[in-house]
């Protein structure tokens, strides 16, 4: 089924100034509604400019930007409508975060939409909860670390309750755990029906996440689609200032060594193990959907029956609830637990209920690698 494009750039050319060289030239790109899109490109390729063009900050000199099939109107009302739907998280939170207090900044966007105060309060509470910054609500921004500021910037965008979330290098400057949390949040938004666009230089991180990847090079879209196709042309990859992900390279090498077809391409560790592992019998994977309130109880119940089995936690609510518990995989736990299963070991995965579709989707993907995971959902 073909999905409708939520954003479309048609032959867009843009220069910051008439006397300056163009940053985007005859630029064409479609962003599918509800998709997970990665935007890749070398420094200066025009990723940020493209994001600003999508949100109406940059008005193209040529071509047009369509939002939901309609050309963007560069009027006050037209831009208000567009920006109420499309939220941006900038690379540097210090450029985005403006107010002195955390909750004041998160409320800044919704207040600009003239929403009722109750609605603003609800949105602020929810956004801060989603990024686990509730206890910092009344803290001055300057007291926060870089990672916390990034979370505030993300919360500010979440509070807009956008239909499109544009994240410009959201993991830049973050430690690996915080990066994982951001990717979980991006996945959560996707599951809520939000179209998520992420620009990044971390090819390994988006390789396992994105449905569609678009590569920008020389002011144009060089490639858009399934990224494995792009990586197969090494000369093109290098011309675009890119490098292929480690997992892609390993798959190519091991496939060649074993005389196997590189396809299907594993996009995460569990798929790689499922494809090449010697142990073809799956370990048991106990899946436990939970929420912050019942995660501890469920942890106690399930670990009592299965002592010594590795436990992973996926999702910020469950992770927060189980912060004092003995959890082996605190980050990237879905991949870790499926890797256990693919290598014949039992594991328990406790996750926020919203991720159910992602968890089950991974089991389906593993079937494509010849691995039928022995999965049991405990409610």
Partner 1 sequence: MSETADMDELAYSSRMVNWSPLGKLFFVLGLMIVGLLTDSLIVPMITFTIGIFLMAYSTNMKIPLIIGLAIGEAILIMILGSGMISILGDPNDPAFWDGHFLWFTVHMTEVSFNKAWLIFFRAIAGVTLMLAFASSTPIPHLAHAFKSIRCPPELTELIVLIYRYAFLLLERFLIMIDAAQCRLGYNGSMTAIKSYAGAMTGTFIFSMELAEKSENALACRNYHGYFPIFHEPPKMSIGWFVLTIGLAVALFFFGRYSAGWINMVDVFAPILGW
Q: Which residues bind partner 1 (CB under 8 A)?
A: 52, 55-57, 76, 79-80, 83-84, 87-88, 90, 95-96, 98-101, 103-104, 107-109, 111-113, 120, 124, 138, 140, 142-143, 156, 160
Residue 313 backbone class (left: φ over 0; alpha: ψ -120 to 50; beta: rest) = beta
Nearer to partner 1, 52 or 272 (CB): 52
Query: What is the closest distance, in whole angstroms, from the C-beta atom of residue 171 to partner 1 in the complex?
Result: 19
Query: What is the closest distance, in whole angstroms, from the C-beta atom of residue 161 to partner 1 in the complex?
Result: 13
Q: Return the residue matching tokens 């801060």.
A: 128
Query: What is the closest distance, in whole angstroms, from the C-beta atom of residue 140 to partner 1 in the complex?
Result: 5
Nearer to partner 1, 105 or 184 (CB): 105
Nearer to partner 1, 164 or 247 (CB): 164
Nearer to partner 1, 46 or 266 (CB): 46
DSSP secondary-structure letter at 4? P
Q: Are 86 and 166 in contact (CB under 8 A)?
A: yes
Query: What is the closest distance, in whole angstroms, from the C-beta atom of residue 59 to partner 1 in the complex?
Result: 11
Query: What is the closest distance, in whole angstroms, from the C-beta atom of residue 131 to partner 1 in the complex?
Result: 16
Alpha helices in the chain, H assignment, sequence order? 47-54, 76-85, 93-96, 102-112, 117-130, 146-158, 176-191, 203-207, 227-231, 234-239, 246-257, 269-276, 295-305, 316-321, 333-342, 356-367
Nearer to partner 1, 87 or 288 (CB): 87
Query: What is the closest distance, in whole angstroms, from the C-beta atom of residue 74 to partner 1 in the complex?
Result: 11
Q: Return the residue matching tokens 């599918």.
A: 32
3-state percent breakdown (helix, strand, coil) of the chain, nearest 5: 40, 20, 35
Nearer to partner 1, 45 or 120 (CB): 120
Neighbours of 317 (CB within 10 A): 21
Nearer to partner 1, 79 or 291 (CB): 79
Query: What is the closest distance, in whole angstroms, from the C-beta atom of residue 282 to partner 1 in the complex?
Result: 46
Q: Are 343 and 253 in contact (CB under 8 A)?
A: no
Closest CA to 83 of 74, 95, 94: 74
How far is residue 12's CA from residue 31's CA, in Å, rounded to a whole number? 14
Q: What is the DSSP string of 262-294?
A: -PSPP-SHHHHHHHH-S--SPPEEEEEEE-TTT
CB-based burial label for 305 (10 Å; 0-12, 13-18, 19+) = exposed
Q: Return the residue matching tokens 């979440």.
A: 158
Query: What is the closest distance, in whole angstroms, from the C-beta atom of residue 69 to partner 1 in the complex?
Result: 22
Nearer to partner 1, 103 or 181 (CB): 103
């Amino acid at each position: 089924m073909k999905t409708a494009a939520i954003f479309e750039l048609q032959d867009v050319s843009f220069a910051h100034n008439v006397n300056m060289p163009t940053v985007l030239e005859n630029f064409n790109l479609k962003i599918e509604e509800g998709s997970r899109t990665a935007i890749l490109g070398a420094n200066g390729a025009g990723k940020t400019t493209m994001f600003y063009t999508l949100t109406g900050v940059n008005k193209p000199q040529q071509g047009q930007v369509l939002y939901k099939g309609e050309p963007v109107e560069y009027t006050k009302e037209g831009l208000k409508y567009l920006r109420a739907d499309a939220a941006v998280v900038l690379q540097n939170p210090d450029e985005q975060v403006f107010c002195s207090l955390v909750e004041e900044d998160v409320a800044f966007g919704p207040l600009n939409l003239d929403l009722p105060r109750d609605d603003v309060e609800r949105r602020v509470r929810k956004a801060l909860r989603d990024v686990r910054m509730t206890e910092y609500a009344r803290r001055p921004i300057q007291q926060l670390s870089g990672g916390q500021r990034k979370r505030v910037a993300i919360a500010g965008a979440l509070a807009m309750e956008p239909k499109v979330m544009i994240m410009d290098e959201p993991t830049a400057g973050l430690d690996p755990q915080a990066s994982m949390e951001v990717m979980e949040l991006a996945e959560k938004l996707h599951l809520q029906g939000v179209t998520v666009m992420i620009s990044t230089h971390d090819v390994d991180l988006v390789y396992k996440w994105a449905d569609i990847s678009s590569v920008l090079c020389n002011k144009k879209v060089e490639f858009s689609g399934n990224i494995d196709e792009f990586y197969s042309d090494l000369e093109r990859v290098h011309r675009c200032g890119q490098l292929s992900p480690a997992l892609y390279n390993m798959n190519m090498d091991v496939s060649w060594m074993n005389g196997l077809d590189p396809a299907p391409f594993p996009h995460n560790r569990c798929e790689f193990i499922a494809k090449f592992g010697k142990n073809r019998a799956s370990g048991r994977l106990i899946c436990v959907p939970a929420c912050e309130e019942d995660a501890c109880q469920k942890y106690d119940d399930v670990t009592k029956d299965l002592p010594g089995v590795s436990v992973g936690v996926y999702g910020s609510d469950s992770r927060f609830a189980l912060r004092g518990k003995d959890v082996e995989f605190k980050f990237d736990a879905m991949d870790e637990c499926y890797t256990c299963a693919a290598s014949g070991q039992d594991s328990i995965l406790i996750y926020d209920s919203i991720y159910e579709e992602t968890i089950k989707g991974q089991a389906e993907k593993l079937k494509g690698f010849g691995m039928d995971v022995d999965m049991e959902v405990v409610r």
